[in-house]
Structure 1
Amino acid sequence: MTAPRQRLVVVVKGYPRLSETFIAQELRGLELAGLDLVIVSLRHPTDKKRHAVHEEIMADLLYLPEYLHKEPFRVLRGFWAAWRKPGFATTLRGWFSDLRRDPSRNRLRRFGQAAVLVAEWPEDGVWLHAHFIHTPASVADYAARIMRTGWTVSAHAKDIWTSPDWELSGKLDRAKWAVTCTEMGHKHLQSLAADPSRVHLSYHGLNLDRFPPFTDPRLARDGSDPADPVQIVSVGRAVPKKGYDTLLRALALLPADLHWRFTHLGGGAERDSLQALAQSLGIADRVRWQGSVDQAEVLAAYRSSDLFALACRITADGDRDGLPNVLVEAASQGLACVSTNISGIPELFRNDENGWLVPPDDANTLATALKTAITSPDLRQQFGQAAAAQVRSTLDYHRSVDQLVHLFAIEGLNP
């Protein structure tokens, strides 16, 4: 007799998204491990490009109403279906308690989306998992409580550090387990959980098949030749936590006779203001803004560059990166990296051993590190190779996929 079909329902904030390659590669990894997925997205895609991995993912897609007022009949059908479920009354009381602490339109939207998910629950769906412990986990939590089914969550960076402790504690207590991808985030979530053993550390790592070793020799540029400047690259959204304003100010502090070019890959709301800043600093002619690109173009940029730079910071509201995937990608190609010593970045890089780490929001110290890196091609080669070895020995994404498959199997979800 054929075993009944079992489908893992995964709630994400938006799909597909260029900036969340790590989620897409994990979903594809789970599929390759034999799990059958349904992706539930709270938002429709806004990126014009897609990565190759998005084309490989076979999961069905369900888009929930991004704005409840735009699909009123669908939302009403959702609440009618949810009202008939045994857990609706207690979940509604819990939602009112949340609303008193967070009286926001967002709180209403998440409850409405959860109701629609209950009404449109995928056939053969047996388990609910959320990527990010803020809004996707809110939808998953409410839906699971209404249906009285189990759910789990993957927490990452912004979602951990911009969520109030009371909300994190409640979700951690109701979820069967949680995983997170940096030691700093792991310790923080464990401190908020009634049962810390249910919070697991799982570095999401990198699909090394897509980032094979780069064995070509890099040119020994040292910034002395105006006709052959050192090529510096950065990949990331132009948003405050990436620290691109600090990076531009650091570049402007470099000696005038040091020759370099900086290329930024990525979109983001701050691109126009950063371009204006580069102009005011007098370095606009050395800076190229390439815009959003796919993974193949990113890989080509790593291989044609001499140095990767990312000046991550913690913003006023607590937002921050964990261990940025682009740093792992760049390191996998033996590309020397300059970054900051926050969050999970020191979990991969050790200052003056396999990269350069400086305090955030310190343009002067960052400029000193950049000058050393630009003028030291042998050191760049040494650090790049050491970082690549670290990535390939510890951050293969198959490890995290295997860990997740094991955790799901405990809940009865088997390939």
Structure 2
Amino acid sequence: MSSPAPALGRVGYVTKMYPRYSETFIVHEILAHEAAGLPLDIFSLRTPSDPYFQDIVARVRSPVTQIPSHSPSTQTFWTTLSQAGSVLPDLWPQLHLASQEGTGALDIYQAVLVAVAARQRSITHLHAHFASVGTSIARLAARFAGLTYSFTAHAKDIYHDSVKTADLLRKIRDAHQVITVSDYNLRHLRELAGPDAGHIQRVYNGLDHQRLTYQAPETRSPLILGVGRLVEKKGFTDLIDACALLARRGVPFECRIVGRGELEPVLRAQIAALGLGDQVHLLGALPQAEVLRLIAQAAAFALPCVVGADGNRDGLPTVLLEAMALGTPCISTPVTGIPEVVRDRDTGLLVPEHCPEALSQALQELLRDASLRVRLAGQARALVSDEFDIHRNAARIRQAFQPAAAGVL
């Protein structure tokens, strides 16, 4: 059962794009807030581009506002600002501050639209996911509307080479609360922010365990499953190389990889070059219900994440938590927050980054040892039940909204 929401006002969620196929953790968080009675508005700064969305999006009741994502004409820009002045009485001095920071016209335009909507809808606090464009707009809109804001930092938004440290520090300093999804991230951000780090806290992403039925993996076909965007940081090139090693050793297996992304042609060529066309299959993007069904059938879930050449990396992939909740033993790498959940020989297996040989040995061990699968899976399910419950964790996030919504600005 969800804990009743405290006497909060209305909260606005500012997202770069909503809905987004790969960001179901945001949808689960919103659904948990709704279940607790928190009134929400969702703002999307970019037009959704995924061919279809996850089934759970249909359960969200909060209104979604699509903010225009194109740069306005000069006339539209100044007309919008002039009209906004009647709703946002302190707008012009704040615009001067924004211009001194070098903020672009599109960011100002979108932030003004969000700020006006927030005032008109009696929104009392703004929250963004990722310390990138969503937080940029939430920060400006909160300033323009006289509100507070918070944000959740994940991975690419704080580690990628494109991250501007001065901008990130400014967002941390001005935020009412900063949330991040792993202890690894927490240490990094606190070290970075120094004296401004007191309001940074770790809240794990959560799962709705009622939707994820645990099944012990004692009897599973030799299916290896990987799920994620087909990008460098997911490590799927290493997984395919590991599969080639399994094939050379005569280990029976099938590997399926679910997802879309820029590396798809590269991965297909790699599969063909290694002669794995009958054993390794790229399935493309699938609805979440189908993904969960496949996870529950697999003997091993493999996500050999790596730190990309540009610094991009995963934070703590939700799909690992889903696999653990369903009873599928996981193999991953010690990247960022992953060892906080995949604890080697306890709740899963860890192998070094970029090491197909170690990955193939771990896969072979799980495929052949049913007792190991069962032991790891049971301990993994207990961990995610204890620490990754969406309703408990969303309640902690609502506490970060409470002082602002109660009028302590």
For normalisation by structure 2, the TM-score amounts to 0.90
- Return the offset for 1:10: 0.8
Indicate the residue corresponding to 1:296 in structure 2: 289
1:236 counterpart letter in structure 2: G
What is the rounded CA distance, in whole Å, between the counterparts of 1:33 and 1:293 in structure 2? Answer: 30
The alignment partner of 1:384 has SS state of helix
1:318-359 Cα deviation digits (max 9, x unpaired): 211111000000011110111111111100111122211111
Distance in 2, Cα, partners of 1:382 & 1:9? 43
Structure 1 residue 98, shift from structure 2 partner: 4.0
C-alpha displacement of 1:164: 2.4
Alignment partner, residue 269 of structure 1: 262
Looking at structure 1, the residues matched to 40 and 186 of structure 2 have their Cα atoms a distance apart, in angstroms, of 26
1:283 matched to 2:276: yes
- Residues 303 and 174 of structure 1: is their aligned pair in 2 closer, same or farther, counting only changes over 3 Å? same
Q: State which of 97, 101, 124 in structure 2 corresponds to 1:97.
A: 101
TM superposition score normalised by structure 1: 0.89
Q: Which residue of 215, 228, 243 corresponds with 1:236?
A: 228
- The one of 110, 113, 116 equivalent to 1:116 is 113
Equivalent in the alignment of 2:208: 207
Partner amino acid, structure 1, of 2:90: P
What is the percent sequence identity of the aligned residues? 32
Corresponding residue to 2:48 among 36, 45, 48 = 45
Match of residue 224 from structure 1? none
1:5, 1:177 → 2: CA distance?
A: 16
Conserved? CA contact 2:20–2:53, under 8 Å: yes
In 2, Cα distance between the equivalents of 1:74 and 1:335?
54
Within 1, Cα distance between the matches of 2:22 and 2:327?
22
Paired positions, count: 394
User: Counterpart in 2 of 1:390?
Assistant: 383
> Secondary structure in 2 aligned to 1:253?
helix
What is the CA-CA distance between 1:173 and the residue it aligns to? 0.7
1:173-223: CA deviations, max 9, x gaps? 1111111110011112222333322111100121111112225x64265xx
Q: Secondary structure at the match of 1:127?
A: strand
2:218–2:371 CA contact under 8 A, matched in 1? no
Computed over aligned residues only, the root mean square deviation of the Cα atoms, in angstroms, reads: 2.2
Mapping of residues 404-415 of structure 1, within 5 Å: 404-413=397-406
What residue in structure 2 maps to residue 197 of structure 1? 198
* 1:9 aligns with one of 6, 9, 12: 12
2:82 aligned partner: 80
Query: Residue 243 of structure 1 aligns to which amino acid in structure 2?
Result: G
Q: For residues 119 and 234 of structure 1, what CA distance do their matches in structure 2 show?
A: 43
Q: Which of 228, 238, 253 is 2:245 aligned to?
A: 253
- Taking the aligned partners of 2:404 and 2:260, their CA distance within structure 1 comes to 39
State the AA in 2 paired with 1:320.
R
Q: How does 1:273-352 map to 2 (within 5 A)?
A: 273-352=266-345
Identify if the C-alpha distance between structure 1 residues 149 and 288 changes in structure 2 by more than 3 Å, giving closer, same or farther: same
| Secondary structure of the structure 1 residue equivalent to 2:242 | helix
Say whether the 8 Å CA contact 1:239–1:269 is kept in structure 2.
yes
Task: Give 2:331's aligned amino acid.
Answer: V
Superimposed CA distance per residue, residues 218-254 of structure 1 (whole angstroms, 9 cap, x where no aligned partner): 4265xxxxxxxx1011111111111111111121122
Partner of 2:347: 354
Shift of residue 138, structure 1, vs aligned partner:
0.5
